Each structure stands twice: as structure tokens, then as C-alpha cells.
Amino acid sequence: MTGKTVRLTVAQALVRFMIAQKTVVDGETLPIFAGCWAIFGHGNVAGIGEALHGVKDEFPTYRAHNEQGMAHAAIAFAKASFRRRFMACTTSIGPGALNLVTAAGVAHVNRLPVLFLPGDVFANRLPDPVLQQVEDFGDGTVSASDCFRPVSRYFDRIQRPEQLIPALQRTMQVLTDPVDCGPVTLSLCQDVQAEAYDFPVSLFAEKVWTVRRPRPDEDELAHAVSLIKAAKRPMLIAGGGVLYSEATNELLQFAETHGLPVAVTQAGKSAVDERHDLSLGAVGVTGTSAANALAVDADLVLAVGTRLQDFTTGSWALFREEELTVVGLNVTPYDAVKHGGVPLVGDAKVGLKLLSQALGDWRAEGQAERAKNERATWFEAAGKALAATNAELPSDAQVIGAVARARGTEDTVVVCAAGGLPGELEKLWAPTKPGGYHMEYGFSCMGYEIAGGLGTKMARPDKDVIVMVGDGSYMMLNSELATSVMLGHKITVVLLDNRGYGCINRLQMECGGANFNNLLEDCRYEVFPEIDFVAHAKAMGAMAEKVSSVADLEAALVRTKANERSTVILIDTHPLITTEAGGHWWDVAVPEVSTRAEIAPARAKYEKNRAFQRALN
């Protein structure tokens, strides 16, 4: 060290910088980076690998079995931490790097912070083309890592040591900013990782990052107040932004003060205790009858922290009131004005407080009573769907009922992602505490579930983490089950085997399509697959068993709660049964012409529903 600089390799400087970044959670100062996931290869083992080894006692490095899986774990950690803490992921160049891209899409769509550190080609180009290098015949600056550009909120390629300094500043701004939050990719040329440079000591000074809470503009606030007071049938839709802003108490106080019923999105579910009389549950395509009943004729929607995805709006065919107004309370202007929304740009926690103060003693007349009545109707239907039966092949809903009865919802986090389960869970799982429901449904990424359960457990070790996954998703990405065993982070995996992609098979049928290439029985095969999931799970070190009924599943869930290792419980389920109550149409285009007679009525039904879609900007 000389003067105010210290000579380090680029990789060493990067790691030292990450260690210096802090945050405050519940009054405790903690490292904002909870560690780094790493699968080493020739593009990062000598540079970042050596740097991580040098600090292994103060900055944990975790080894995974699949690059996409470890990135899903990192993303789930950030989601379960409400974006207050996050992790990094490093890989080699080529396939190692590209295996992260799908996960980067998950993080980007869901606005979740994660730092990707893929290896890259040599900046000096002397050994080109190196192993795993993707050559562009017309552009010498292109490498495989360019694939990260559309799925990163910030992308940079580090080709000289000094470039790291501004890149790190920009990295932290994006990872911690409520507006820009999302994945960052620093693609690290492998020769530059090992180059030394005299970095300023000030770069490694401890810095504490806190939550930025922008206040709404006064004119926007006044306009929103006037619109809400004029509404006859208003409702509130809470998205993931409520959880990330830690605004759940303010949301409940707002609803109670003003008699405003609250529906939730997939990301916003658990923002309100669903036992509350003003809670309508999920809204939209996989919504409850209670939420959708109020949405159909709502004349104003206060959309808090949501981007109003098509599943939330029923592809914009759910809301039938011609004079509907959407007030978007959102920290991101891009989301606040979607679909002709009236913007109220600001932090959800601060915004709800100020909006409530400005509304004074105003209450939504009759809406609370209506919510109570609709809730009673819905819970009667939901109870029937969740109840155990003696059916040879139970429904997904009956399995969900068994999990809820056996493990409860107070100290449980249920984790899921793609397929039919998200729809059933959004309708039927009733979380009582923030974070009790963990769903990746922005990107609907099959294979997220088990890795996501691991990341959730790492973020919330005191919770009982239940992963619900179908056989299709399990087969796509299950390797981090072995990682959970290796790291001692116990999760319980409830594996529902309907022998194929049951959800898409149902959608195929709904669109008039023939049963084709989704369920295993409808696929081309020489030998029908008979997969021994129990043996497979045991081979990865987990405890595993198969049950033959909902009653047996419930008993197994009670018995295995005390298991010290990750546990898989397998049950065969019916591929076609789904909860008929609740729900709404979803825009999936049906062919205009076909040689198959079944397509014509499906197209007619499709066109009938499209007539209800709103033409919004």
C-alpha cells in the first residue's frame, strides 16, 4: 500500500468492495451482500476464485450444481429479504455464463437485485479464439455475455482495471434503488480479473445503504384524492411493491380507515392477512370470486406497487366499468402510468400515509360490507376445493389443503413458480404474514422452485419452507436439492406427479387443441417413462417417501416436520382437475382457421371474451 491507494487485482478489488457494502435491517447493520454463489471454470477460477478464497472466512462462497439454479437461489434470497439484501453469482465464460441468462430474465421481470459476474473473453485478444468463445464474424466486440444486455438493468464489460471503479458505483445504485432495481451484470474479461491496479482506498470504505422513500408530488396527490373521493365503487390492488416498501401495516391501516377492500397480485400476496374482512384475496385470471366480483364493476382501482400484469387484469377484460380510473401509486413512473393510469409516483409506505391523511374521514360507502359478503361466498367454495376426499388421484387443491392443515400458514413460507400450482395457490393459499407466500410468476420460470426454496431458507432460516412443485418442473431443474442437503438448509418439497405438463395440457384443451405432447401418454415414446422420484431424491441426499392419499400426505407432513434434512414427499395427482370457482378469462390466441372442428367453437368463445377487453394506452 502506498499513500491512499492499495494494489489489488481487479477480482480482489471487486470482492473487497462487496464486503464493504452494508445495510440496516431491524436496527442491525448487516453486509448487504450475503455471499457469492460460484461455479468455477477457466473464465473465473484463477481470478475471482483466488480473490474469493482470500476472504472465505468473512465473505461466504457457496458452490452449486447448476448455474441457473444458483442464480434462482440468489434471486429468491433477495425476494425473501424484501430486496434489502442480495447475493452475487460468478461463472466461467461461454455455457457457464449463458446458463445464467434465464435467471437474469427472472430477476429483471420481477425487479429483484442480483449481481452477475460471468467470465468473458481476453481483453487483449492475444489468445483468440479461446475455449468457449462465441465469435461474431462482423463485430469483434461481441461475446456470449452480450446476451445479458436485454435482461440486465445495468450491463458493463470490464476491459481495463480502472473501469471497475465507476462500474461498482453504478452497480450499487441499481441494486439498491427502488426505481432501477434489478439484475446487474459485470462481465469480467478473464485476463483483466488477474491484472493489478492501484485502487483508491476510499473505494473500500464501509458504506451503509438505506431505503430511499420518495414522496409523491403535491399536485399528483391532490388529483388522486379528488378521484378517490368521487368514486362510487373503489377497490385497492396491492402488488409486490407493498412488500418491498415494507408498507404492509400502512396498507392495512389505509384499508381499515377508508373501508377499501384489498385484492392482491401474485407478487403482492401476503401483503395483507387474508383472514381480514377487507381482504379479497387474489384478483384476475387466477383470482377469487370475491376479488373478481368487485373488480368487474369497480369505477376506481388504487393500484399500489403493481405493474398490472395480464394475469392481474384478466388481460384487461375483467374490469367492465366504462368510466374506470386507475390511480397508480408506484415508485416507478413507468409502472404508474400503465394502461392510462393516473400517476401517483412515490414510495408505497410514504404514499399510503400521505394519501390517507389527505382523504381524512372519507370512506368507501358500502364496499366493506360487500367485501364481507363476497368473502363468505368464496370461502365456502374454497373450503370444498381444499377438503380431503378418497379420490384415487387428488387434485392440486386437495394437496394444498393438506399442506395448509398439516403445517399451517403462521410460520410457513410456501414457494412455487410455474404450471398449474401457482393458479391454485394464488386462489387457495391464505397467508397471514408478509413473505408467507413466495411465488415467481413474473417470468413463470419452470425450475425455479427447489432452488428458490433454498434461497428462501437461507434468507429466512427460522421459517418452515415448503416447496410445491410438479413433476415437469422438478425434472427441469432439481440439482439444488443436493445443495440444500450439502449446506444444511432444510426444505420440504411436496412433489405432485401428474405425469407431464398438466397445466399446459388443460390450456391446450381450453383452446380447442388436441391432447398433444404435454402429458407423457400423449407424447412420442418407445418406452413409457416410469420415473422413481423417491429414489432420485434419496440419491441426492434428501429424505424421501411416496404417499398414496391426501390423508397419508397430511400425516407425512406432520411426521417429517422434525426431519433434519431436506425431505421430498411424492404424491400422484390428477392432471385435469382444477378449481372451477373464481378465475377469469386469459387472452391466449386461438387459431382463426383449422382443419380440426374443435377449433371453431374455441375461436368463437375467444372472440366473445376479447370484446370485453379495454383499449387502454
- Please, is 615 exposed, middle or buried when counting C-beta atoms within 10 Å of its C-beta (0-12, 13-18, 19+)? exposed
Which residue type occupies 432?
T
- Beta strands 33-38 and 86-91, pairing class: parallel
The Cα 593–Cα 346 span in angstroms is 47
Task: For the beta carbon of residue 8, count every other beta carbon within 10 angstroms.
Answer: 23
Domains of the chain: 5-209 (3.40.50.970), 218-375 (3.40.50.1220), 387-572 (3.40.50.970)
Strand order in the sheet with 412-416: 437-439, 412-416, 464-470, 492-497, 567-572, 543-547
Classify 421 as helix, strand or coil.
helix
The Cα 156–Cα 18 span in angstroms is 17
Contact 94, 126 (CB under 8 A): no
Q: What is the DSSP string of 208-258?
A: EE----PPPPHHHHHHHHHHHHH-SSEEEEE-HHHHHTT-HHHHHHHHHHH
Please enumerate in sequence order all residues whose Cβ is within 8 A of that of 357, keeping only pairs 6 or more positions apart, or say none: none
Q: How far is CA 351 from CA 102, 134, 221, 250, in A?
A: 34, 48, 9, 9
Nearest to 438 by CA among 425, 447, 428: 425
The Cα 493–Cα 286 span in angstroms is 23
Backbone phi, then psi, for 472, in 5-degree steps? -65, -50
Please enumerate in sequence order all residues whose Cβ is within 8 A of that of 505, keeping only pairs 6 or more positions apart, or say none: 515, 518, 519, 522, 575, 576
Which residue type occupies 361?
D
Q: Which residues pair with 572 in a beta bridge?
A: 497
Please enumerate in sequence order all residues whose Cβ is within 8 A of that of 366, keeping only pairs 6 or more positions apart, or say none: none
Contact 260, 193 (CB under 8 A): no
> What secondary structure letter does DSSP report for 345?
E
Q: How far is CA 383 from CA 27, 137, 388, 428, 553, in A?
A: 41, 61, 10, 9, 18
**Cα-based angle 41, 42, 46 (whole degrees, multiple of 5):** 95
Backbone phi, then psi, for 242, in 5-degree steps? -65, -45
Contact 417, 473 (CB under 8 A): yes
Tell me, what's the pLDDT at 616? 63
3-state secondary structure 545-585: EEECCHHHHHHHHHHHCCCCCCEEEEEECCCCCCCCCCCCC
Contact 152, 104 (CB under 8 A): yes
**Cα-based angle 9, 12, 14 (whole degrees, multiple of 5):** 110
Classify 482 as helix, strand or coil.
helix
Would you state the cell numbers that stand for residue 367, as one nine-digit string? 364496499
pLDDT, tens digit, for every residue of 104-145? 999 999 999 999 999 999 999 999 999 999 999 999 999 999
- Helix 396-407, helix 550-560: angle, nearest 10: 30
Burial 418-444 (b: 16+ CB within 10 A, else e): bbbbbbbbbbbbbbbebbbbbbbbbbb
The distance between the two most distant Cα atoms of the chain, rounded to a whole number of Å, is 81
- Please, is 410 exposed, middle or buried when counting C-beta atoms within 10 Å of its C-beta (0-12, 13-18, 19+)? exposed
Q: Which residues pair with 156 in a beta bridge?
A: 186
**What are the start-end ranges of the E strands in 21-176?**
21-25, 28-31, 33-38, 61-63, 86-91, 114-120, 154-158
Which secondary structure element, helix H or strand E, spans residue 186, and what is its range?
strand 183-189
Q: pTM of the prediction?
A: 0.97
Contact 15, 38 (CB under 8 A): no
Scan for cell 477480482, then name that residue.
Answer: 11
What is the signed CA dihedral for 495, 312, 103, 464, rounded to 10 degrees? -40
Would you state the cell numbers that stand for residue 55, as one nine-digit string? 476472504
Nearest to 477 by CA among 152, 105, 103: 103
What is the signed CA dihedral for 154, 157, 160, 166, rounded to 10 degrees? 0
Residues of the chain with pLDDT under 50: 1, 617
Classify 426 as helix, strand or coil.
helix
Would you state the cell numbers that stand for residue 421, as one nine-digit string? 400450482
